Amino acid sequence: MGARTRTLLTLIIPTRNEAGNVPRLVDELREALYGVDYRVVFVDDSDDETPEVIRSLGEEDGRIVLIHREGAEQEGGLSTAVTAGLDTIVDESEYTCVMDADLQHPPGKVREMLEEAKSSGADVVVASRYAKGGSYAGLSGPMRRAVSVGTKNLARILFKEARKTSDPLAGFFLVRNKAISGIQFRPTGFKILLEILVCAPELSVVEVPLSFRARHAGVSKANVDQGLGYLAHIASLFWYVPSAGRFWKFALVGASGVLVNMFALITLVEYFEANPTVAWMVAVGLSVLSNFLLNNAFTWRDVRHSSRIHFLLRGALAYPVAILALGTNFAVYYPLIKYVSPDFPYYVIAAFLGVVAGTSANFILSSRFVFRPSTPKGLDPKSPPHEIAEKARKELKADWIGLIRAGDLSLVTRSSSGTAPPRPFATTDKSAVEFVLNTFQPTLVVTGPRRLPQSRTNARWTSSLAVPVLEGDHPVGVVYATRDSTEQFTQEDLHWLTAYASTSAPIFL
């Protein structure tokens, strides 16, 4: 590691007109965090004297930093305030704690959260108003409380990652910075914890109970706009984060399949005078196909297939899975109408329960088998390095793939295709490798004809994937793959190589 020492803890505190709270907050933090290496970053959008108050506190105490935003910078308000804070400071400290300035979040909790993070090793510590021993009584009025419970449950129903904590919308949490580096925060939505949980589904989460106090001074800035902003945030997470809310994406696709089925059935029988049984079979076959294609393009769009054959095999597998799901549906429906009651409304309830069971079975089987991520094969550490590299190269259809050691940038092992002789290591390759060693971020680089992309083109591009190999905290090398072809590498290829780099590459370094 470098000689630069990092602060242990950075507090990010968004403020808007909190002049009456900031001095007491800073005092309480100083007392609570005595002996801890911390600093406080206020991200301020005030039009009262808050910035002056913070500035004069900063003159007495160098650990207090002010980012004051004016005009257009303030756009997005609370949401961009927290993400702006995160974006600027994350690399410089080990932990970040986000909290409010109005003393609804007691500063004394911060130390407890820090200790909890250290002792549990978790990535995120949530100060939960809904945990046992916590309380949300500080929310002003029954309306605010109802909205809080409703919005919280909406998040927990939609996103399984939100179920890791009882309070996924908490504004008071602490994260290990390394765990969230690389997340590209979007300016929609101020529920940054939810954003973190959904965008980084692998994070481990623990919580401590929080007694949410009443505001010390000033007024709340919560309003209807923020409520609508929350809904937009949920929609944006659902739509743009591939892994978010997969079950509901799957259910949506399933509902579209019902429409395809009905449309095909009616068309075949009414306009082509098909036999209804034959028409039924064709309609079911078509809806399974359209479901598969939509699931491939939407529900599991981040799960790559390595070849056209692989894609076709998946499509074929969707059929037996659909039959099993239908069987599950019937296995729930039939006993219910037989042993409970075949009359209205019981058979309707039975049919509904059958659909729920069938859809769930279909979802589980589809994620386990049809859209199972292809994992790097040949991980036997005893097989020769070039063999493992060769397998990775074939999977990616790369011209060559190599493992490059940090420091002298020497090649440790490499594999290249028989047809294309390996290109010499060019300046662009070198700068990509160096970029990755500095930023730790897996990177996809494309260089090619300076022309606007067309959907039908025979232009060849040179695309490269560069992925760091980390040992604990620091990069010891880079896996680098390059391809000169009409097809560029995709983000999914980059994911795949990232998985490869974290499992097999360290063996050789």
Ligand X SMILES: Nc1nc2c(ncn2[C@@H]2O[C@H](COP(=O)(O)OP(=O)(O)O)[C@@H](O)[C@H]2O)c(=O)[nH]1
Rule CB under 5 A: which residues touch Mg ion?
100, 102, 104
Query: Which one of Mg ion, ligand X, none interacts with residue 44, CB within 5 to 8 A by kind?
Result: ligand X
The answer to whether residues 343 and 337 touch, using CB atoms and an 8 Å cutoff, is: no
The piece of 33-41, 215-223, 329-337, 459-467 that touches ligand X (CB under 6 A) is: 215-223
Is residue 101 part of the contact set for ligand X (CB under 6 A)? yes
Separation between Cα atoms, residue 342 and residue 326, nearest integer Å: 20
Separation between Cα atoms, residue 281 and residue 269, nearest integer Å: 12
Which residues partner with 401 through β-bridges?
415, 481
**Interaction pattern, residues 121-160, with ligand X; x per rule: CB under 6 A:** ----------------------------------------
Query: Which one of Mg ion, ligand X, none interacts with residue 390, CB within 5 to 8 A by kind?
Result: none
Return the number of other C-beta atoms located less than 10 Å from residue 148's C-beta: 18
Q: Considering the complex, what minimum distance in angstroms separates the CB of residue 36 from Mg ion?
A: 24
* Sheet architecture: strand order including 400-405: 411-416, 400-405, 474-485, 461-471, 443-447
Is residue 221 part of the contact set for ligand X (CB under 6 A)? yes
Query: Which one of ligand X, Mg ion, none interacts with residue 495, CB within 5 to 8 A by kind?
Result: none
Query: Which one of Mg ion, ligand X, none interacts with residue 16, CB within 5 to 8 A by kind?
Result: ligand X
Closer to ligand X by Cβ: residue 223 or 458: 223
Q: Considering the complex, what minimum distance in angstroms separates the CB of residue 11 from ligand X?
A: 12
Q: Considering the complex, what minimum distance in angstroms separates the CB of residue 109 from ligand X?
A: 15
The answer to whether residues 508 and 412 touch, using CB atoms and an 8 Å cutoff, is: yes
Indicate the angle between helix axes 276-294 and 308-339, nearest 10 degrees.
120
* Contact residue for ligand X among 81, 208, 279, 350 (CB under 6 A): 81
**Residue with tokens 């049984």, as numbered in its chain:** 277
Q: Considering the complex, what minimum distance in angstroms separates the CB of residue 213 from Mg ion?
A: 9
Is residue 15 part of the contact set for ligand X (CB under 6 A)? yes
Query: Which one of Mg ion, ligand X, none interacts with residue 303, CB within 5 to 8 A by kind?
Result: none
Q: Considering the complex, what minimum distance in angstroms separates the CB of residue 102 from ligand X?
A: 5
Is residue 222 part of the contact set for ligand X (CB under 6 A)? yes
Task: Show Cβ contacts of residue 497 under 8 Å, excluding neighbours closer than 6 positions.
Answer: 392, 396, 442, 465, 467, 479, 481
**Residue with tokens 């529900």, as numbered in its chain:** 299
Helix (H) or strand (E) holding 66: strand 64-68
Helix (H) or strand (E) holding 228: helix 224-240
Closest CA to 244 of 205, 206, 204, 200: 200
**Interaction pattern, residues 19-48, with ligand X; x per rule: CB under 6 A:** ------------------------xxx---
* Contact residue for ligand X among 9, 18, 195, 442 (CB under 6 A): 18
Query: Which one of Mg ion, ligand X, none interacts with residue 43, CB within 5 to 8 A by kind?
Result: ligand X
Closer to ligand X by Cβ: residue 103 or 251: 103
Using CB under 6 A as the binding criterion, the count of chain residues that bind ligand X stands at 17
Q: Considering the complex, what minimum distance in angstroms separates the CB of residue 68 from ligand X?
A: 9
Closest CA to 130 of 88, 172, 165: 165
Closer to ligand X by Cβ: residue 98 or 389: 98
Give the rounded distance of the alpha carbon of 137 from its chain centre. 31
The piece of 14-22, 172-180, 245-253, 256-264 that touches ligand X (CB under 6 A) is: 14-22
Q: Which residues of 92-105 are buried (b: 16+ CB within 10 A; e: fewer)?
A: ebbbbbbbbbbbbb
Separation between Cα atoms, residue 307 and residue 70, nearest integer Å: 51
* Contact residue for ligand X among 20, 102, 200, 287 (CB under 6 A): 102
* Sheet architecture: strand order including 38-44: 64-68, 38-44, 7-15, 93-98, 173-176, 124-128, 205-209
Closer to ligand X by Cβ: residue 148 or 291: 148
Q: Contact residues for ligand X (CB under 6 A)?
A: 14-16, 18, 43-45, 77-78, 81, 100-102, 104, 220-222
